[in-house]
Structure formats: C-alpha cells, structure tokens
Chain A
C-alpha cells in the first residue's frame, strides 16, 4: 500500500509547477451503490496532450470513475478540480460545456433517429428556421470522413451494425471539440483498420493538447496508445506508471494479481462427428438486397472450437443470427447432426441444442428490468417445470451454481442486472445459454468488454464443455484470441469464408491478411474448409 502511494506521489506532484498541465483532477472520489462500493477514495488526474489508459478487471470501477468525471454520476465523497478549481458537474451537458466528453462503454444511441440527429441530440444546431439540418449533416459528414467511415448522415441508426454504431458514438464525442475526451472501450466492436484510424485521430488530438482517457480490455492496443497507465483493482487506484516503463506482463499482473495469459493451443482435442453442418448458406439483407452471407459452407464437429475470424461487416453476425433461427436463409441448408433445421425458429433451435450469445448484449442479451438470476434462467425455464409450475428450488440451485461456475461478480441472484459491470453482464449472457445445455454454442464476439482474467475463464469454460462434446463456433475480430483459443480458424470476408488455418501453425499476419483480402476467395474454398475441418489438418 505505502509503496504504491509513493509511486503515485511521484507522478502527481500536486504542489509544484510540474502539475501545470493537469487539467482535471479527481480527489478522494468514492462511489457507493447500495452495498456495492464501486470506488474507494480514488485520486486520479488527467493531463493535457496525454493519453491516460485505465486498466482493471471487470467491475474494478473504471467506468464508474469515468461517469463521475463526465457528470453522469455524482460522487458519494470527494470532489473534482478542473484547471485547479473545484467544480461540480451536475449533468453531462454541464460537463460538455466545460469541454469534457465521454464515449460510453454501452451504446447510447436512439435507433429510430438518423445518424446526424443522434450526433447532435441535445445540442442541435439552430438557425432562424429551426434546426439547421444541413449544417448538422455537413459536420456529421466531415467527422465521418475523418473517421474514414462511409456512413451517410441520413442513415437510421437501427440499420447499422454494432461496430458502426460504436463509430457513431465516437463521432458524437469528436464533434463536441472537447478538450478532455474520455473513451470507455471505444473499440470493442471495431476492426483493426478502424482502430488504426481511431489511433491516428487520437494522436492528432494529443498534438492539439486534448487530454484523453482511454479504457480498453484489448491490452496490447491500449499499451500502444498509452502515455500513462493507471491500474484499478476493487475500486482503488493501485498503480500509476509512465507507459514507457510498463509492458503487458506488468499490466496483467497488476490488474489481476497473477499471470492470466491463456493459451489453449496445446489442449488435447478429440473431435466427434459433425455437430453442425452449414451447407452453401446465403442470407439476404431485405433492405439493400445484398447478400451479407454468400454461399458459406462449414462443418463444426463435436468437441471442436471453431473461430470465425473476420473484420466488421464480414457477415459473421448475419451468419450467426441465421444459424440461431432469427433470420431466414436465402439459400442453403443447416443441419444439426442429421436434422435439417429448416423452418425452425429460435425457441425450437434452443430446445434442439443450438444457442446464440448475441453480439449486442444490451439490446439482445439482457432483460434490464430483471435480476441476475432471472436473466440467467430465462432460456431454460421449461427444464424446471413440474406440474405446470416452476420448481424454484431447482431453478435457484442451477442459477447459483452458474453464477459461481462462470464467476459472475454480483451481490447475488437477486441483484438487478443493471448493477453489473460490462464484463460481468456478458458472462450472464453466456451463462444463460450454457444453462440450456446446448450441443452447439454460437457466440458472437463473446469477450467484448471482458477483462483478460475473465476472458481466460470464459475460454477455459468453453474448452471444458468442448471436452464433453460441445461444438463451439465463435466470431471474433481479435486475432490473438483467434490464435490462442480455438481448434481451427475460419476467416470470413465479405460474406464468404476465404481461408482456414490451424492456430498451431498460423501467424497473426497471415490470418489478418486473409481477412483483409477478399480476392482470395476461390470457388473451391468452401469444400476445402470442410475437409480440413474433419481432419484438423493444416491450412486450407
């Protein structure tokens, strides 16, 4: 404790003139939610022209501190100093007025409004004729250009994929010309290329003297952009270092308290017969008439963990949703074992053993008004029915077992789901599907917003289940994850599966290159994929 304190002292010279570039300082901040103490007397500072990166496990209190800095929440104790003066931020608009903007971890967009109206919601550009839509569109287009993202200001947000929505969130924050910009996991749904663009913008902003706070569970990425690294554990700031002095190992050790690196490449693998057979499947987009999934064929075997790697817009989510029975196929066939799944809906497929952990947990995964326990049990209620009524004892036992089994940090099954941190909420969505006892589990970006320690836990859970015969197909845009946590990597690009890799021999570069390069799709590829799959052979 005392050692860390001296660390911190060195870096935050409060009295002398070195602190001149400290623009925002949080002093002794505590925050309590009911019995949960999210922050316990944290001292934290933000400096102009620097990127301060926050590390910490799920529920460490990172987002809570950011919400306080941006006027979303008021601290239970402690205060904020802006340019050396004590301030109270009563609301987000008060914060924006003072030049503090935040990109929230969870998407906060109005799906029924256009991109431009979302960006200017609450601070509309007015002219004498009312809202100046032309001006709003112009600025929106400008920001989009800066983000190198071809999204029209007139698109409705509901028609955008999660990744694109995240870009809109970034655009909204950028358009405020903030001098303190807080980014709480801005890249969890972005592709590598988009992250590169974002980093370019961040560097630009730095040069202009903007202070940036950055949170991400993509540790390497975060270390790359960091000037200073701050680590949180259990609501306390436990370390603050110059980025030059740290590395991945240090970050992981400090935030988790142990080495949490995971690598499942050498796990024994025993694959049974084909569990899920995707044959020449196409999915049409009713609005654009295009095919986000275009003649995809792929077999997933019992006990096999297949990673579907690809960039945003590669069609992974569309494929997953079609497999789960949410969308109709435009062509092709999906077989579960021997059974053709044609004509079956989501509910029936869950009964048959195919479950999906959706990409957007807020919108598609969680019932916000209900407790952790009721969320966990929702998909498998029928299995606890006796005489028409739910056997609550059995349900509670299963739910409690699952909470400890997958390590959800919560006050208990009765706690409201909205009290969980992002990563823990994600675990609940996964746990809900595992409770249905699936034979095929589909996961769309399952580690979005999950900390390193928990990522490892989630994957080891999947590998354990795979040992018992579960077939897993998960989509990710994190190459590291693809390489260390799968039996086979299938790369998807522009609606097609383009190549397949054995993670034991593949390199990051190869895999990433395959995803970027859609011309690599050859007509023979699908067949090649199925065969390499069944033999677990080398690359296709």
Chain B
C-alpha cells in the first residue's frame, strides 16, 4: 500500500516533495535575482535610482511579455524563433499605417485611427502565429524549422515595408486624423511606472489564470507531456498546438506597438534577438524545453534576472563584449543550479529515509526479541 497511516503519523506530516521542489526551483531564480541586485547596487549607486529602475522595468516588460507567449509554446514542447521578427514586422506595419495607406485606384490616402492601428498590428502578429501554428499542427512540421523560416520571412517583410528607411515623424500622428497619441498612451508612465510594465502585469495575471484555471491550460500541460494520451482523453490537441503560436504572435504584436512608442521609431532591426532572451527567461524560470513543465511566475522572475543583469553590466561599465559572455554564463549557471539542487534534494531525502529505516529495523528487532522471549 502507499501511505500507510502509521507512516504518515510517524514522520510528522512531511509535505509532498514536488511542492517543495517547485518552490525551491523558483526560489533559485529569486536568489539569483537578489544576488544580482545586491552586487550591482553595491558597485554603483545609480543602479537602484528611480530613473534606472524605470529603464529596467521597460526592458524587463518587453522581454517578459514575449516570454509569456514563449512559455506557452515551450509548455507544449515547441519553440518559436520568429517572435523577434514578428515584433519588427508589427512595428513596421503600424509605422506604415501611421504614414497613411494610399488606396488603390484613387488618389485618396487613408489614415486609420490610433486604436485601429493597434488592433491591426496585434492582429498581424496573431496571423503570423496562426500560420506557424497551422504549419506545425496540421502538416506536422518541426516547430524549430517552421519558426526559423518565419524568422527570415518576417524580417524580410519588415525590410520591404520600411524600404530602407525608418518611420519616425509619422508616428506622432496629425491632429484631425485621429491617429495621435501613440507616445502619450503607449510610452506613458501611469503612477510613475512605465505602461509596458502594467501591460506585463496584466498579461501575467491573464496567462496565469489561463494556465491554472482553464481547461485550455490543463490541456496544454497534458499535450506537452504526453500528446497521445492527451488526444485519447479528448483534448483537442491540434487546436491547442495552433493556439499557442497565436498567443506568441499576439504578444509579439503588443511588444511591437510598445516598442515603436518607446523608441519613437519603427526600424528594420526592431525586436532582433528577442526570441533568445525570451527563451532564456522561460528556462531560467524553471520550464522544461521538452514540454509540460513551467510557470508564469518563474518566467517573470526569469525575465527580471535577465533585465537586472544586462542593465547592471551596462551601468558598472563592463564592455559590451564581456556583457554578452557574462549573460550567457549566467543562463547556463542558472539552469545548472537547478539540476544540482535537485540532486542534493534527492540525496537528502534518501538520507532521511535511511535513518527512518534504521529506526524501523531497530524497533522491529526489539519487537522480535520480545516475541521470542
């Protein structure tokens, strides 16, 4: 039998190891984060100044929003390399819409209003994700390949749309065209906190509800760990697989808008390498690349680790080349710590069990001698 009542009562309510494990795992990322903060704060007084914190918050938010989408894909056991390009593409689409669309067959130029632009940009991101998703779930293509291809396609289209220049002035909009306000809304600081951070918080709440409190979330975890069993349990596996890419696309679209508002320009290299930072955040947050394991909380902490680290390295004046080296090393270290911690934990549990067994056999021995006497 499993837990005999005696076993439970003898060892004073040891809680499940998985829970402790999960807490420690996120704890590890948290410890890393605190360490980073303490080290850089002691090296440079400006590190924790309000101005710098706002900068960090913005960077963290951009990465975290993308990472949330990436988390879903990774939970499914997939990967999305195209998100960075999609950020660029949606930025370029939005930029072009601000510049006005000349309608075919007429001389008229149409200027969509601000919110229409926002919706279209996000929709373009979702469309890209949907195409990824369909190719992956219907044609059974490898996510790595499909999204790698899409990385090129997206970046290429961005360059086509921008035609070698950046769109900058047009982003401001013009009075009377109803397309003003990009900066005043999407680069604002409600309550002193950058709007992107608010968006990150809102999305984190939504995604964590999605993952833990909806059937979709359960289906996603199930599909990520055993697709066949999930399918036979009635999980709409293909729909789940398609949808996660739509979510990453959506996140990329949101970041596209936030970024052009932030840097006040739609550029061809916008969002470059975002996919890698996002993957790093998800992994530092304790997710398994093979699918089925990972949390929103971990991912957000992961994004904070990367954000605080990158900014800290800049602020203490580490050369950009070394910054890259150190960032890479920290990622590896974080994931390695995870493994080491698990090993240590297992050893400790084993030692505890051995002690218990010895106590048992001692007791058994005394019982036996009583019986025989």
Contact = CB atoms under 8 A, between A and B. Distances in A.
B293 A369 contact: yes
B234 A363 contact: no
A457 to B, nearest CB: 15
Interface string A361-382: 0011111111100100111011
A415 B232 CA distance: 22
A368 B71 CA distance: 20
B361 interface: yes
Give the interface size bracket for B toward A: 35 or more
Chain B CB within 10 Å, residue with most, of A1, A37, A389, A392: A37
Contacts of A382: 215
Contact of A350 (B213, B234, B350): B234
A388 B214 contact: yes
B361 A59 contact: no
B264 interface: no
Interface in B1-56: 1-4, 7-8, 11, 14, 16-19
A461 B7 CA distance: 30
A30 B360 CA distance: 9
A368 B353 contact: no
Nearest to B291: A369
A35 B11 contact: yes
A164 interface: no
Nearest to B292: A369
Nearest to A357: B232
A398 to B, nearest CB: 14
B14 A347 contact: no
B236 A77 contact: no
B234 A41 contact: no
B226 A385 contact: no
Contacts of A235: 1
Give the interface size bracket for A toward B: 35 or more
B222 A370 contact: yes
B2 A381 contact: no
B218 A381 contact: yes
Interface stretch (A168-176, A406-414, A495-503): A406-414
Nearest to B216: A381
A363 B231 CA distance: 11
A419 interface: yes
B212 to A, nearest CB: 8
B349 interface: yes
Contact of B2 (A59, A363, A379, A390): A59
B371 A2 contact: yes
Contacts of A367: 221-222, 225-226, 229-230, 292
B169 interface: no
Given A370-B222, A378-B222, A414-B16, A36 B354 contact: no
A351 interface: yes
B2 A409 contact: yes
B250 to A, nearest CB: 18
Contacts of A432: 233
A76 interface: yes
A437 interface: no
A369 B229 CA distance: 12
A315 interface: no
B142 interface: no
A77 B357 contact: yes
A32 B357 contact: yes
B138 interface: no
A366 B231 contact: no
B171 to A, nearest CB: 36
B201 to A, nearest CB: 19
Contacts of A36: 2-3, 7
B232 A369 contact: no
B202 interface: no
A332 interface: no
Contact of B349 (A34, A59, A392, A420): A34
B228 interface: yes
B98 interface: no
A390 B228 CA distance: 23
A365 B353 contact: no
A50 B356 CA distance: 35
B121 to A, nearest CB: 26
Nearest to B357: A77
B1 A392 contact: no
A32 B356 contact: yes
B361 A369 contact: no
Contact of B233 (A351, A369, A378, A389): A378
B219 interface: yes
A411 B213 CA distance: 24
A1 B226 contact: no
A349 B3 CA distance: 37
A420 B358 CA distance: 25
A324 interface: yes
Contact of A368 (B1, B209, B226, B364): B226
A37 B357 CA distance: 9
Given A34-B16, A378-B222, A381-B215, A364 B232 contact: yes
A77 B358 contact: yes
B360 A41 contact: yes
B41 to A, nearest CB: 38
B354 A358 contact: no
B234 A385 contact: no
Contact of B226 (A34, A366, A409): A366
Interface in A52-106: 59-60, 76-78
Chain A CB within 10 Å, residue with most, of B232, B236, B360: B232
Interface string B336-373: 00000000000001100110111011001000000110
25 contacts: A2-B372, A34-B14, A34-B16, A35-B3, A35-B11, A37-B4, A41-B357, A76-B356, A235-B1, A326-B231, A326-B232, A346-B234, A349-B234, A351-B234, A356-B232, A358-B229, A366-B229, A367-B229, A368-B225, A370-B292, A378-B222, A388-B214, A390-B218, A414-B18, A415-B2
Given A77-B358, A324-B232, 14 more contacts: A2-B371, A35-B11, A36-B3, A76-B356, A355-B234, A364-B228, A370-B221, A370-B225, A378-B222, A379-B233, A409-B1, A411-B16, A414-B19, A424-B2
**10 A-B pairs with the lowest CB-CB distances in the bound complex, closest first:** A77-B357, A350-B234, A381-B215, A32-B353, A369-B225, A30-B357, A379-B233, A347-B234, A389-B213, A369-B292
